[in-house]
Amino acid sequence: QYPFDVEAIRDDFPILQRSVGGDPETPGEGDGDDTPLVYLDNAATTHTPEPVVEAMSDYYRGYNSNVHRGIHQLSQEASVAYEEAHDTVAEFIGASGREEIVFTKNTTEAMNLVAYAWGLEELGPGDNVVLTEMEHHASLVTWQQIGKRTGADVRFIEVTEEGTLDMADAAAKIDDDTEMVSVVHVSNTLGTVNPIRELADLAHDHDSLIFADAAQSVPNRPVDVDDLDVDFLAFSGHKTAGPTGIGVLYGREAILDSMQPYLYGGDMIRKVTFEDSTWEDLPWKFEAGTPSIAEGIGLAAAIDYVEEIGVDRIEAHERLLAEYAYDELEALGGVEIYGPAGDERGGLVAFNVDGVHAHDLSSILNDFGVAIRAGDHCTQPLHDKMGVAASVRASFYIYNTVEEVDALVDAVEQARDLFA
């Protein structure tokens, strides 16, 4: 019933053969270590398939070198691979070319690049930045602090009881003093898929820019920056079957061209004198120093890998698992699930079990081999609004199966009864 051959995909991830956790016969004791891994923490990070590991190893074994046109052949090979990785990303998200693709360390750094290089320059008293109450700390804390430093007001579009955005509130808060709307595309806590295009139209009607935090959307569903009509977009390699240490900032070329860099040094300059310096072309102007070369090559290999499967099929697979998990957990009783109904969400389900603290639940689940996330998922203000200190979150990817959802639900049921 899957949109692609999940078993064949699983063969590309040796880590999935791991045994972990404690002994399900004595949950909570933490003994034993031969329970098969059920990895359901993909919103935190996804695993890395063999073709990606090979691509990075091939680089280190065969053409490791510093980039940006050293004269010798190794450097030219490394430069071409690293620069063409930008073209692969541009094509993947529908950008016009490598000029609009800046490699960063992760989504967090991409957001900070815009906050510092654009926000500190463009924002001042009387201006406002509009976020949502479901933002990840990567954008919420960043714009909150930039607001304090510039005097700009930071506003939050309200989240409804159902975990969706109050669009009437959005229309009220985005006004002619709004300079930036920064919105998570798919919430890493609620699974909510936000109407980015509608918000972009609202922002642009008021001459504001819009930034889409796509950390949970680019890896899991088709994303096209023109369809969304966003001015900036960010995502991370490690959530896209790629390595850690590489993220992407997409920016409209004209806007990136108008921005000053905020990290200075080698590679990002064209001419330096004692008095002043000029900058390299896009995107290199924003990539100071020796970049994460192997990681950029690994990201391109990861994008090739997910494109081979088909990102639309990945979306369908995750929806199938999320809907099944939502229905099965709800049927257990004593489980509170956060966010919209199962068929209107991204591939994740955050929940709590009555009478069981999220951290206790996740450690019991680990005894059953089930790896999920417990905590605030870097959305503390949202958890405050939901009235809970923490939640547990199961999140799905290309190698997960219905049987693994059954293992999750069974472990949750046993944990619930253990604490009853």
Q: Find the Cα–Cα–Cα–Cα dihedral 80, 81, 86, 89, rounded to 10°.
A: 150
The token duo for 270 is: 């064209």
Q: How far is the CB of 105 from ligand DCS (least distance, A)?
A: 7
Answer yes or no: are the C-beta atoms of 382 and 159 closer than 8 Å.
Answer: yes
Answer yes or no whether residue 377 interacts with ligand DCS by CB under 6 A: yes
Answer yes or no whether residue 150 interacts with ligand DCS by CB under 6 A: no
Piece in contact with ligand DCS (CB under 6 A), picked from 164-172, 208-216, 257-265, 273-281: 208-216
Q: How far is C-alpha 28 from the geometric centre of its chain's CA atoms?
A: 31
Q: How far is the CB of 109 from ligand DCS (least distance, A)?
A: 7
Tell which residue, 85, 145, 83, 84, has the closest CA to residue 119: 145
Give the DSSP H or E segment for 91: helix 73-93
- Say how far apart CA 107 and CA 44 lie, in whole Å: 12
Answer for which of 208, 236, 292, 391 binds ligand DCS (CB under 6 A) is 236
Answer for which of 141, 184, 223, 394 binds ligand DCS (CB under 6 A) is 184
* Dihedral of alpha carbons 373, 379, 383, 388, sign: positive
Answer yes or no whether residue 215 interacts with ligand DCS by CB under 6 A: yes
How do the residues of the chain divide into helix, strand and coil, expressed in percent and rounded to 5? 45, 20, 35
Nearer to ligand DCS, 213 or 323 (CB): 213
Q: Which long-range contacts (CB under 8 A, 24 or more apart) does 381-387 make?
A: 381/133, 381/140, 381/156, 382/133, 382/134, 382/135, 382/159, 382/189, 382/190, 383/189, 385/133, 385/159, 386/338
Piece in contact with ligand DCS (CB under 6 A), picked from 212-220, 276-284, 319-327, 384-392: 212-220
Answer yes or no whether residue 67 interacts with ligand DCS by CB under 6 A: no
User: What phi and psi values does residue 53 have, to the nearest 5 degrees?
Assistant: -60, -40
From 16, 44, 378, 402, the catalytic residue: 378
Answer yes or no whether residue 44 interacts with ligand DCS by CB under 6 A: yes
In the region spanning residues 378 to 417, those forming contacts with ligand DCS, defined by CB under 6 A, are 378
In the region spanning residues 120 to 149, those forming contacts with ligand DCS, defined by CB under 6 A, are 136, 138
**Lookup result for tokens 């529908």:** 94
Answer yes or no whether residue 288 interacts with ligand DCS by CB under 6 A: no
In the region spanning residues 98 to 117, those forming contacts with ligand DCS, defined by CB under 6 A, are 106-108
Q: How far is the CB of 389 from ligand DCS (least distance, A)?
A: 16
Catalytic annotation present for 56: no
In the region spanning residues 186 to 205, those forming contacts with ligand DCS, defined by CB under 6 A, are 188
Residues lying near ligand DCS in the complex (CB under 6 A) are found at 43-44, 106-108, 136, 138, 184, 188, 213, 215-216, 236, 247, 373, 377-378
The residues assigned a catalytic role are: 378
